[in-house]
Structure 1
Amino acid sequence: MVSAAVLTVSDTAFANHSLDNSGPTAADFLNGRGYQVLHTEIVPDDTQLIRQAIVAWVNDSPRPIDLIVTTGGTGFGTRDVTPEAVSPLIERHAPGLVHLILSSSLKHTPLASLSRPVVGTIGTTLVVTLPGSTKAVKENLEALSSDGVLDHALDLIKGGTGSGVHDPSSRQVWDTSRGDPQSNIHHCHHHRHHTHEHQAPKQRAVLSQDPLLPGEPINRPIVTARHRSSPYEIVSLEHAIASILHQVRPLPHTLEKVSPTLRGHVLAEDVFASSDVPFTSTTNVDGYALRSIDPPGVYKVLTTNLTKPLPQGAVFRVNTGGPVPPGADAVIMVEDTVVKSTHKDEKGGDLEEAEIETLVQIPRGENIRFPGSDVKAGDLVFSKHTILDGLGGDIGTMAFIGKKEVHVTRKPVVAILSTGNEIVDLHGAQKTSSDSWGGVWDTNRPSLQAALEGLGYRVVDLGIVHDNVQDHVAKIQEGLDTADLILTTGGTSMGPGDLLKPVIEHNLQGTIHFGRVKMKPGKPTAFATIPKMKDPQGGHTPIFALPGNPASALVTFYLFVLPALRRLGGWKPDSCQLPRIRVRVQDKMRLDPRPEFHRVVLRIGDDGTIEAHSTGGQRSSRVPSFTGANGLVALPAKTEEGPQEILPGSFASAVVIGEIRG
């Protein structure tokens, strides 16, 4: 049986699913033809979301999808972007099927000439884009199904001969687990193994070029095979962050001992007090426990533990936090007493107080913490999802209530690596003499490791990877085996040795969710997920391919990687990004056609306003622009009608990446 999926593309239907008529029309038609519609979904008219839905069905569906039908967004409206979304995914276009759709529609209305359908294959999946009109959907599907055209196409895509479709008396039913028509399994199996005429294409929807020529034995990139323009749509910063938070899921829970290492963990349970705190009456000052009815006067000082009520004419000496004896209901401070007599040693020296005089009368309860006055048994002390900070109070409170172990979301382990033949390890092989080029010091690994460990994350250092496919695959695989997130730098642009995106897609069956971002610095940033082959739950490991320029790497780390790490660690999506504050700019900042993040030092001004001082030249390779930087001023994109620069004294928004000092 043919498996199918239907995607409705419509802003209106996405806002109100009950308004979707074209999607159900397509699903009913396909089910009526004997196909099995396994998935239906509605997305807005958004290029990236359309692609993500299709790629997810092609790559991640538990059962292979033979046919994907989209409805809507194929016209000339300003929001009609389905052709632009689907075309880059298509590996083999089917212009004949497009002609069949258009010619059939033109028989009904000349307005069909305004439709822009796209038909073709992604791996072994046929994708057909149809208009949003229910009438057009039905007419187009009837045209594709006439004379067995659609069945014949699906048969050929799966590697069959299509002979059963040519013979009307013999209709084949597909077994998608094998890719063979059940009515002729033996014949098709023999055919696929003894001829290359209908060899099935790859089962991945990829955009990057294959880094190696067919049969290339030495795992090196082929310069002539690279793209001359990026196949990845450039997405907005907001879209990129939304994609990250949508794809990344919190790690499993773990039981941890209460200790300083809990810093930054997120609670996976509500924490209740198991007993009253304090358990018994205690004092919060140094002094003497007494009865509140005792007037000022001279009293005998007792120091040994009392099990019976405090006798008349006596007080009990206590220290801060110590228990108050039975019968006492107040504590007088040392400052409100004087010594009247002392116990002496053999030589007549003072040993300790024998009697004191109280100078004031103390009201009941003064300076006493009664049982449960701080926390009562059963009180909710921490709510689930609380982020345990590193300022001491949260861990101290856990100890205060006697909590020894607690369930938390596991913090992610991060694997980092740098790429490029030109990169030299700072503590490894030395550069050559200054009069010849010997490479550049690897700045990214040390800076990113410092940032990660400063935030409390454990780091696995994978070192430097040279520009060949084999090394890339081996190192990334090591990261998949040892870490929860992989962080790479370099190899994301258009050079022949920029292999990260091709390796992720071609060699590791990963999905790149975005490959370029409209921002400065950091345009070639890529975010992908790679399947965990050994995970029975079918999980994925996120991987970030950051630009190689050091300033770009750090900017994109704080904007993209840190939110992903927080989400992995159980932070709620709306709290994963770093905070933004209003600042007063102190230096002129030129605007760029892309939104830019200008490195600054944030200080508290004399009037209490947060001032943003530029760190100087903002070239993406200039690491000193991050020296002392604790903020990133978010500059808007330059427009023809708008200002060309931000002047001193202007206010702007800034991302806070470090402590703000006076």
Structure 2
Amino acid sequence: MSSIKVLIVTASDSASSGKSQDLSGPEIQRILQHHGYQDISTIVLPDDGAQIRQTVQDHSERGAIDWIITTGGTGFGVKDRTPEAISPLIERHASGIVHLLLSASMKHTPFAALSRPVAGTIKNTLVVTLPGSVKAVRENMEALLSNGVVAHAIDLIKGGSGKQVHAGLGTSHTAGPASSTPDHHHHHHHHDGHQAPKPRTLLSHDPSAPVPGRHRISPYPQISLEAALQLILTEIQPLGSLELPVTPTLAGHVLAEDVYAPRNVPSSRTTNVDGYALRSSDLPGIYNVLTWKTRAPAEDVPQGSVFRVNTGGPLPAGTNAVIMVEDTELVSTVKDANDKDLEESQVKTLVQVSAGENVRLPGSDVRTGDLVLQKNDIITSLGGEIGTLAFVGRKEVKVRRKPIVALLSTGNEILDLQSPNSLPNDGWGGIYDTNRPSLQATLEGMGYKVVDIGIVPDDVDSHVQAIAKGLQEADLLLTTGGTSMGSSDLIKPVIERRFAGTIHFGRVSMKPGKPTTFASIPVPDKQGERKYLFALPGNPASALVTFHIFVVPALRKLGGWPVERCQLPCVKVQIQNAMHLDPRVHFHRVVVKATPDGLKAYSTGGQRSSRVASLSGANALVQLPILQEGGPSQLQAGEWVDTVIIGEIQV
């Protein structure tokens, strides 16, 4: 089975023209490689039925490819023509595989019913069509590769008896060409009984093996920044909703319902100025002054009198207009026993006002049943949304739950600043934990609750206990350190080997932050539910940069923010210092100031990933383009560059 040859065909106009990056094709390739497939080739085609049909037909008839996987064009979109292109070529339809694909995706979303997969053989080649989304591709590939379905099918198509596959599957559950993980014996029928969950990746080194056995080259493919962000926003789904009282603590939540006004605002006629309520027929002259203390507002104001009102107050009966204080003069006052003024007695009106002047009618601001806030609106800390809820009298509102974050640092050399534990007296004094306090300050400043798990030493049991605590108490785990190639870097092995987690990416083509890791871990006893983990690099600047680039979008997606609002804002700024380019996307820490000539960015100095001072005062990250062969080695001062804003812009 190790000789299985696979061709991945991506159908996408934008990817074939270079306008967007193909994410699904590389994801299929990654999954296949993880299952031991080695002979894999890829093609990206436009959404052209004739070109897709010809490509699949040519490769099938040559007999050089055992399995063709297409991705994209299987839905009901105008350009989705892959099923129409492939179906006429199929000689033997595999309806069971089609059912397997649909049922796998239907477990996750009813919209999978809109997919139109095709599966079957052309000559001696198995052809399977998959959707274009990374999430759907991952679900479908897991179904195809589990229990050796595809490997068994290809063996039979090639003329085998299936015995080799059966024998191999006697010791392998996730049957790829080179799988050797011990498991139960394979049969065509299902077995009852519980089985421990299996991770979808198992690339990490075995921490129980001797140090010389560790990886010296990372087994995790280095993916692009765009692909990493796409994976995060695809994998993570919002948390559930709950009803909360309308208080300032709502800031940062996302509405989970449309909000309608339960009553008119104002509920009765009110004044929008300070002045005196009267009749529009009252001519300029001298009038007695009535107040709340001297007359009930439900009683008509008599002729020859006016009623003093303040802005927002209701109009008393018998009045239909308000004259402003500025259009009156004081005539006389009520005095006390010592001849001191206590209250207005009479005023002189200087003008005549028309009916309705300076009066707000019932419902003039909001009418009963008006939509005042919409589902998925973000309740900001600026006060407008909370003010609106209070304005219409909503005491409680349904919102998306905000994620709780468990925070921990790893490393035997790390000391807690407030309660340092002594290290062995070997001449090494250790280093203070910078990441936990800085990340906690950032998280709490954004309004997130933080569970501080502390510093975790470099041993497997301590890692297991810390991660288990984080899974129990939080929605997202945030770790720093232990993500590189050291023998004591245990985050990835523990996630995969002790929690059956999936490493969605373990390296990103960026600087700083290359070893950033994003993983999901199944929640015990909760079918299909997962929690998420980010393992950030241990260097302080790397940790904070990757937090803003990756973790903030993840937290926002968990909290129900619209996808287009999940990433921090990115704007063009004019750099004031020359900046060197790198083969990876480089985030240069800067201070952005607003000037009459636009936004200007000033470098914070040396950009070494361990130099946390480069983030002190920084309010933005200049996203430098990738160094191109034959291109300039740096950007010059005065050039305009995309910049991620992480703090308040200075003036």
Task: State the TM-score, normalized to the length of structure 2.
Answer: 0.77
Which residue of 503, 527, 532 maps to 1:542? 532
Counterpart code for 1:291: R
Question: What per-residue deviation string (whole Å, max 9, x for no partner) do you get for residues 532-587 of structure 1?
Answer: 1032x421001000000000000100010000000000011121000111101011
Q: Is contact 2:73–2:132 with CA below 8 Å preserved after alignment?
A: no
1:143-542 maps to which residues of 2 (within 5 A)? 143-144=158-159, 146-149=160-163, 152-153=166-167, 156-157=170-171, 174-177=188-191, 205-213=201-209, 222-303=210-291, 304-429=295-420, 436-535=427-526, 537-542=527-532
Q: Is contact 2:510–2:586 with CA below 8 Å preserved after alignment?
A: yes
The answer for the alignment partner of 1:597 in structure 2 is 587
Q: Is contact 1:9–1:42 with CA below 8 Å preserved after alignment?
A: no
Counterpart code for 1:143: K
Residue 25 to residue 560, structure 1, CA distance change in 2 (3 Å) = farther
The answer for the alignment partner of 1:67 in structure 2 is 148
Question: What per-residue deviation string (whole Å, max 9, x for no partner) do you get for residues 624-659 of structure 1?
Answer: 000111100000011122111111111111001011
Q: Are residue 641 (structure 1) and residue 641 (structure 2) matched? A: no
Q: Distance in 2 between matches of 1:33 and 1:564?
A: 34
Q: Distance in 2 between matches of 1:366 and 1:10?
A: 68
Partner SS state of residue 339, structure 1: strand
Q: Distance in 2 between matches of 1:155 and 1:56?
A: 16
The answer for the alignment partner of 2:29 in structure 1 is none
Gaps of 5+ in 2: 1-5, 12-44, 46-69, 75-80, 105-116, 118-127, 174-185
Which residue of 544, 551, 557 maps to 1:567? 557
Partner SS state of residue 590, structure 2: strand
The answer for the alignment partner of 2:157 in structure 1 is 142
Q: Is contact 1:250–1:568 with CA below 8 Å preserved after alignment?
A: yes
The answer for the alignment partner of 1:92 in structure 2 is none
Shift, 1:396, TM fit: 1.1
Tell me how many residue pairs correspond in the alignment: 542
Question: What per-residue deviation string (whole Å, max 9, x for no partner) do you get for residues 261-280 of structure 1?
Answer: 00010000000000000111
Question: What per-residue deviation string (whole Å, max 9, x for no partner) do you get for residues 122-168 of structure 1?
Answer: xxxx588x7xxxxxxxxx75224x33446644653469xxxxxxxxx
Residue 202 to residue 653, structure 1, CA distance change in 2 (3 Å) = closer
Q: Is contact 1:278–1:370 with CA below 8 Å preserved after alignment?
A: yes
Residue 156 to residue 393, structure 1, CA distance change in 2 (3 Å) = closer
Q: Distance in 2 between matches of 1:619 and 1:589?
A: 13
Q: Distance in 2 between matches of 1:242 and 1:28?
A: 36
Q: Distance in 2 between matches of 1:256 and 1:34?
A: 44
Residue 29 to residue 153, structure 1, CA distance change in 2 (3 Å) = farther
Q: Distance in 1 between matches of 2:558 and 2:484?
A: 27
Q: Is contact 1:10–1:43 with CA below 8 Å preserved after alignment?
A: no
The answer for the alignment partner of 1:19 in structure 2 is 82
Residue 173 to residue 475, structure 1, CA distance change in 2 (3 Å) = closer
Q: Is contact 1:9–1:45 with CA below 8 Å preserved after alignment?
A: no
Q: Distance in 2 between matches of 1:383 and 1:291?
A: 41
Shift, 1:25, TM fit: 8.0
Deviates more, 1:341-350 or 1:444-453: 341-350
Q: Distance in 1 between matches of 2:364 and 2:643?
A: 43
Q: Distance in 2 between matches of 1:623 and 1:604?
A: 24
How large is the Cα RMSD of the aligned pairs? 3.1
The percent identity for this pair of structures is 52
Shift, 1:309, TM fit: 2.5
Q: Is contact 1:7–1:23 with CA below 8 Å preserved after alignment?
A: no
Q: Distance in 2 between matches of 1:401 and 1:384?
A: 16
Q: Is contact 2:540–2:611 with CA below 8 Å preserved after alignment?
A: yes
Shift, 1:14, TM fit: 3.5
Residue 43 to residue 635, structure 1, CA distance change in 2 (3 Å) = farther
Which residue of 544, 563, 580 maps to 2:570? 580
Gaps of 5+ in 1: 1-5, 59-63, 70-125, 131-139, 160-171, 180-199, 214-221
Partner SS state of residue 444, structure 2: helix
Q: Is contact 2:204–2:493 with CA below 8 Å preserved after alignment?
A: yes
Partner SS state of residue 541, structure 2: helix
Deviates more, 1:415-424 or 1:35-44: 35-44
Deviates more, 1:262-271 or 1:201-210: 201-210
Counterpart code for 1:259: T
Q: Is contact 1:9–1:43 with CA below 8 Å preserved after alignment?
A: no
Q: Distance in 1 between matches of 2:594 and 2:425?
A: 43
Counterpart code for 2:251: R
Question: What per-residue deviation string (whole Å, max 9, x for no partner) do you get for residues 81-130 of structure 1?
Answer: xxxxxxxxxxxxxxxxxxxxxxxxxxxxxxxxxxxxxxxxxxxxx588x7
The answer for the alignment partner of 2:603 in structure 1 is 614
Partner SS state of residue 549, structure 2: helix
Residue 23 to residue 259, structure 1, CA distance change in 2 (3 Å) = farther
Q: Distance in 2 between matches of 1:377 and 1:54?
A: 49
Q: Distance in 2 between matches of 1:142 and 1:27?
A: 12
1:43-58 maps to which residues of 2 (within 5 A)? 43=130, 52-53=138-139, 56-57=142-143
Q: Distance in 2 between matches of 1:475 and 1:44?
A: 38
